[in-house]
């Protein structure tokens, strides 16, 4: 089996799909290899991510990783969300095939991109906090 049960579960039944209309931060990121486009919406209150939703147009692994990423950051502080790595997303999904690792990078960067937007909206330069947002190269 190429994909773990958890990947199949999050692909068939993704959590937190949708948009947040009055989101505090919105991030969008894509990658050329799969043609995945991920949009991430965050609601932030007192440095806590109170809600997270996503829309992903892409491969099954991109849907599963964005679903898992929203589950991992909901209810967490911004600091914790910034520490979310793509490896943590992959581990939470019981692994991904090597050719799909870049989809988990996309999920990590989508979260960072939304946090970057959050800081920009607060009038704070996001680069020292969030870093540069990089679209995965492969
Ligand atoms: Zn993909």
Render each residue's pLDDT in the chain as its tens digit; 138 residues.
Answer: 689 999 999 999 999 999 999 999 999 999 877 889 999 999 999 999 999 999 999 999 999 999 999 999 999 999 999 999 999 999 999 999 999 999 999 999 999 999 999 999 999 999 999 998 877 665
pLDDT of residue 75: 98
- Asked whether residue 137 is assigned to any structural domain, the reply reads no
- Asked whether residue 56 is assigned to any structural domain, the reply reads yes
- Asked whether residue 138 is assigned to any structural domain, the reply reads no
pLDDT of residue 134: 77
Query: Cα of 53 to ligand 1 centre, how many Å?
Result: 18
- Asked whether residue 136 is assigned to any structural domain, the reply reads no
Query: Cα of 61 to ligand 1 centre, how many Å?
Result: 6
Active site members:
34, 103
Number of domains in the chain: 1
pLDDT of residue 14: 98
Q: Where are the alpha helices (DSSP H) in 1-138?
A: 5-12, 60-73, 78-82, 86-92, 101-121, 127-130
- Asked whether residue 132 is assigned to any structural domain, the reply reads no
pLDDT of residue 92: 98
- Asked whether residue 105 is assigned to any structural domain, the reply reads yes
- Asked whether residue 43 is assigned to any structural domain, the reply reads yes
Q: Tell me, what CATH number does 55's domain have? A: 3.90.1010.10
Residue 79's domain spans which residues?
5-125
pTM of the predicted structure, to 2 decimals: 0.94
- Asked whether residue 113 is assigned to any structural domain, the reply reads yes
CB atoms closer than 10 angstroms to residue 46: 7
Query: Cα of 32 to ligand 1 centre, how many Å?
Result: 9
Q: What's the Cα-to-Cα distance from 96 to each of 8, 24, 81, 89, rounded to whole Å?
A: 11, 31, 21, 10
């Amino acid at each position: 089996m190429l994909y773990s049960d958890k990947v199949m579960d999050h692909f068939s039944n993704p959590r937190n799909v949708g948009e947040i209309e009055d989101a505090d931060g919105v991030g969008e990121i894509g990658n050329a290899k799969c043609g995945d486009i991920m949009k991430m919406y965050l609601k932030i209150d007192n440095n806590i991510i109170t809600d997270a939703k996503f829309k992903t147009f892409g491969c099954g692994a991109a849907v599963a990783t964005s679903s898992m990423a929203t589950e991992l950051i909901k209810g967490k502080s911004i600091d914790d969300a910034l520490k979310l790595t793509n490896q943590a997303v992959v581990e939470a999904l019981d692994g991904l095939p090597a050719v799909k690792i870049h989809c988990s990078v996309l999920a990590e960067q989508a979260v960072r991109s939304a946090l970057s937007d959050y800081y920009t909206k607060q009038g704070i330069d996001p680069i020292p906090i969030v870093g540069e947002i990089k679209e995965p190269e492969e």
